[in-house]
Structure 1
């Protein structure tokens, strides 16, 4: 397996070969204690500051009744749209924590969580979106309808759906981007300081990603099959390996958004972690079909991402005027 790298420049006139976003972890300040402090900052801003702000957001949605519902974790009391926002309101705070940690503690550009280039390739993010959205829609979505049509129901409340779409796009983009910057960005880079072994770098974020999603209702409903296929293998391991191959998290960012927005807007499983007023609601979670469908979705995705679309080979050079030592 060949891990592609990006050519660029460090400082003034010094050419640097094979610069990937993982190696960008050594730009700025990168001692191990800084990553520990960074995690503390991320979770403090996400959980503590976000935890203080979340009840106030609930109050905006439902007043005192909404606040009381939030305290007893009764998100359904906010309605289909309000509950969606309430559950995801904490992600902007986690994103802020990540940006603070990278900027202030590591003293490097947050863009280095995505790429070592001077510009993020939005084209490549779009490639990831299309390459995943097409097979997941046809195989996991319409394919499931072919086998279990009785479990599908159409959402006739199109007014609510129309109001929900912009909120879904914004909050899902924040959620998925935050998770990518954290798991395949910050965690991956921190692991590379410990050991640069590629297998190790692939397994660490994949394992942590799977563990972080164990409390999702799907994990309880599907058992080990769902945990392995739908959290550890895909998206955990596959998307991580793709990021290592690309040398950026651009593809994974697009893939993650495509995966979640499809479940939020098109085919939503009742009682899932992404419970939302989608166009179609699936009354029962089919763990076996969902797991097996991933075995087809993944190779189709890879074929589209690397055969139909081509990897961007040109970019602005990477200028890193103050590549710091281990301080």
Structure 2
């Protein structure tokens, strides 16, 4: 059984997927509609929140919501779908934590290296912001809660939606494309979009596509979970700006004029393909055409029983 077919290990029904999707996307749409209808200045609101409560408190409040979302998704999958969290995570018999840590370490190292290079090549673009007391609090909050934020996004998009859409569409390419585009559009309300323009959506959608390809090729979420956690956690700790979604008491503050160009396109068209090559070699990926564009076959209860009895 491949990753998408893991959905058959639960009690599959279309309505079970519709309710969480309506709930989550409904909240996102309502939030976006309120901002547009009331013509709210999100940047100004965030600055006022940070000034009154502090960056760490604001970060905590924003992240704790995703912990609630993740718990809710897990409970829905377990008790409504009657599907195990393991089968939502991977086609392997158990979650491969080594894969998570390898992906986390690899992307974490690359992120630190790129930040270090940027700081030393254009030091005028950064301000040293390190405050030991505030940074320790930030580190505790980020290490404890950022993985819940990134894990919810992975479990919801690359796990729950990928499996549900794949079973409904009977193919793999449609859920890959849809989850990638929707993942990108979900970030459309981020302040980065206003500052950098629509081109930033190439990065968001491209990142979703990259994570989706990893998930299908590796038959599991582990690599995507590690990458996403490293991306958000290291960024939150290392560098922030007053126009980004994550504004933290990080070590550095980027004070350069916001602009989007090669720094948006290079990750999608250069770095991500290199990472896929590294993962492909390490985990011996093959049969790309079928894994990304193949059909999803139904699996009966009897076939599930047979698979379960195979030692």
TM-score (norm 2): 0.79
Could you tell me which residue of structure 1 aligns to residue 247 of structure 2?
275
Deviation (angstroms), 1:289: 4.1
The structure 1 residue matched to 2:134, chosen from 160, 184, 191, is 160
| SS class of match (2:54) | helix
Q: CA RMSD in A?
A: 2.9
The structure 2 residue matched to 1:25, chosen from 7, 22, 29, is 7
Structure (1 or 2) with the greater helix fraction: 2
* Counterpart contact for 1:127–1:309, Cα < 8 Å: no
Q: Which runs of 5+ in 2 are unaligned?
A: 31-44, 286-302
The reply on whether 1:81 has 2:56 as its aligned counterpart is yes
Q: 1:155 to 1:72 in 2, by over 3 A?
A: closer
Could you tell me which residue of structure 1 aligns to residue 261 of structure 2?
288
Deviation (angstroms), 1:308: 5.4
Deviation (angstroms), 1:41: 6.1
Deviation (angstroms), 1:143: 3.7
Deviation (angstroms), 1:286: 3.7
Deviation (angstroms), 1:152: 0.7
Q: 1:115 to 1:43 in 2, by over 3 A?
A: same
- What whole-Å deviation, never above 9, does each CA across 1:261-297 have from its counterpart, x for those lacking one? 1210012233311111111111233422431331332
Distance in 2, Cα, partners of 1:322 & 1:299: 38
Larger RCO of the pair (alpha carbons < 8 Å, separation 6+): 1
The structure 2 residue matched to 1:253, chosen from 225, 234, 237, is 225
- What whole-Å deviation, never above 9, does each CA across 1:79-101 have from its counterpart, x for those lacking one? 02111111112111111221122
State the number of aligned residues: 274
| SS class of match (1:287) | coil
Deviation (angstroms), 1:223: 1.3
* Counterpart contact for 1:217–1:271, Cα < 8 Å: yes
